[in-house]
Amino acid sequence: MEVAVGTEVGIWQRRQSDAHIAECIAPNVTLFGIADGFGDLGRGSAIAPLALATIRDYLRRRHRVGALGRHVTPSALRGILLAALDHTNGRLYAQSGSHEDFVGGGTSLTAVMIVGHHAFVAHVGDSRAYLQRLGRLDMLTADDAMFADAAVTSAKMSLAARPRTRGVLWRSLGTQPKLEASIAHVELLAGDQLLLCTDGVHRCIDDDELCDALHGAESAGEAVARLLATARARGNVDNGTVILGRDLLVATLPALRVKRAGTAFRSAIAIALLAATLVSFGVYYLRFGGPDHTTNYATSNNPP
């Protein structure tokens, strides 16, 4: 599986509020995710990275109890991802201090869990997921946002003006006690590409241009770099993050298995060094003999 990730700070932004994740959770299970946060959890803690980390950790715990095995049905996998978002929403809602009259912080989030040839797309907010298949680009999510200023950014503008208003999210993670996230299920085919991006990208680049960038690039990294460069050239006012996955049906080894392989290699080196030491000692013993063992006897000055 070929994966490329890139992020860009908007020209009017003081800090990066986006976060991303692209990890192998278990054998045959891969997680892609992007989040665009607002507000914080106090003491400057960003909310977007915590949201993605919480979903990842929840899925890992489910894997440890066998919930992500090869024989789990698609409906059960969909329920697991939905439960991960519900768990994350509750944690963010409690830590951000949000309540019915006040929103302390929240985040848009789009997460894709790939299990074998099944892709489950969880979504809330205005980040997006696209599927490119046979030269056609289809959006797998729908924006949960209303824009009071529709002319904030246009794909045809060479430089965007500073926005007077931000997009108004009517659904986001961490701003309400209960959340009904959207979950889409896609059966992947050979040659499919998955693109995830935040609004700092898709508000600058239209769908046709996204499709052309994916189709014309020789690698995932080249496509991501091209998209971010285009957004930058058009004066993207918001932070922009892109994840592109290719060869999605080719499973990647989980991090745990890679670590085990490295441990086995180091153990083999240690055994080889020990064997060389023993051989050297044996050669020395045969050549020079063992150590002298001298017995000291008491002597007397009186002759016998």
Q: Is the pLDDT of residue 1 over 70?
A: yes
pLDDT of residue 98: 63
Beta-ladder partners of 186: 119
Whether residue 220 is found in the same domain as residue 258: no
pLDDT of residue 267: 43
Which one, of 93, 31, 61, 25, lies nearest residue 255 by Cα? 25
pLDDT of residue 132: 95
pLDDT of residue 9: 82
For the chain, the distance separating the N- and C-terminal CA atoms, rounded to the nearest angstrom, is 93
CATH number (domain holding residue 8): 3.60.40.10
Give CA angle at 79 (69, 24), nearest 5°: 45
Higher pLDDT, 142 or 161: 142
Q: What is the DSSP string of 125-190?
A: SS-EEEEEETTEEEE-----EE-S-TTS--TT-SSPPPPSS--EESS-BTSSSS---EEEEEE--T
The DSSP letter of residue 291 is: P
Higher pLDDT, 147 or 149: 147
Whether residue 162 is found in the same domain as residue 266: no
Q: Which residues contact 184 (CB under 8 A, 6 or more apart)?
A: 120, 121, 123, 129, 140, 141
- Mean per-residue pLDDT of the chain: 78
Taking CA atoms, 156 is separated from 48, 160, 166, 239, 289, in Å, by 30, 10, 20, 19, 88
Written as one letter, the residue type at 116 is G
Structure tokens at 26: 């278990």
pLDDT of residue 149: 43
Q: Is the pLDDT of residue 164 over 70?
A: no
Residue 30 confidence class, pLDDT cut points 50, 70, 90: very high
Contact 80, 68 (CB under 8 A): yes
Whether residue 50 is found in the same domain as residue 199: yes
3-state secondary structure of 22: strand
Domains contained in the chain, number? 2
Q: Is the pLDDT of residue 298 over 60?
A: no
In percent, how much of the chain has pLDDT > 90?
43
pLDDT of residue 120: 96
Residue 263 confidence class, pLDDT cut points 50, 70, 90: very low
For residue 52, being part of any structural domain is answered with yes
Higher pLDDT, 275 or 149: 275
pLDDT of residue 16: 77
In percent, how much of the chain has pLDDT > 70?
70
For residue 242, being part of any structural domain is answered with yes
For residue 297, being part of any structural domain is answered with no
Give CA angle at 66 (60, 72), nearest 5°: 105
Provide the whole-model pTM: 0.74
Contact 188, 251 (CB under 8 A): no
Neighbours of 221 (CB within 10 A): 15
Whether residue 258 is found in the same domain as residue 209: no
Q: Is the pLDDT of residue 146 over 50?
A: yes
pLDDT of residue 232: 87
Whether residue 232 is found in the same domain as residue 266: no
Mean pLDDT (whole number) for 119-146: 92
Whether residue 218 is found in the same domain as residue 268: no
Whether residue 60 is found in the same domain as residue 73: yes
Whether residue 106 is found in the same domain as residue 9: yes
pLDDT of residue 163: 42
Q: Which residues contact 155 (CB under 8 A, 6 or more apart)?
A: 204, 205, 206, 209, 234
Contact 29, 63 (CB under 8 A): yes
Whether residue 179 is found in the same domain as residue 280: no
Q: What is the DSSP string of 57-111?
A: HHHHHHHHTTTT-TT--HHHHHHHHHHHHHHHHHHHHHHHT-BTTB--EEEEEEE
Q: Is the pLDDT of residue 21 over 90?
A: yes
Whether residue 79 is found in the same domain as residue 169: yes
For residue 303, being part of any structural domain is answered with no
pLDDT of residue 101: 59
Whether residue 79 is found in the same domain as residue 205: yes
Domain of 262 in residue numbering reads as 253-290
Higher pLDDT, 104 or 165: 104
Mean pLDDT (whole number) for 196-213: 91
Residue entry with tokens 């059960």: 76
Mean pLDDT (whole number) for 1-23: 84
Residue 127 confidence class, pLDDT cut points 50, 70, 90: very high
Whether residue 30 is found in the same domain as residue 160: yes
Determine which of 125-129, 148-152, 196-200, 247-251 has the lowest per-residue pLDDT on average. Answer: 148-152
pLDDT tens for 66-103 read 898 878 899 999 999 999 999 999 998 888 766 665 66
For residue 299, being part of any structural domain is answered with no
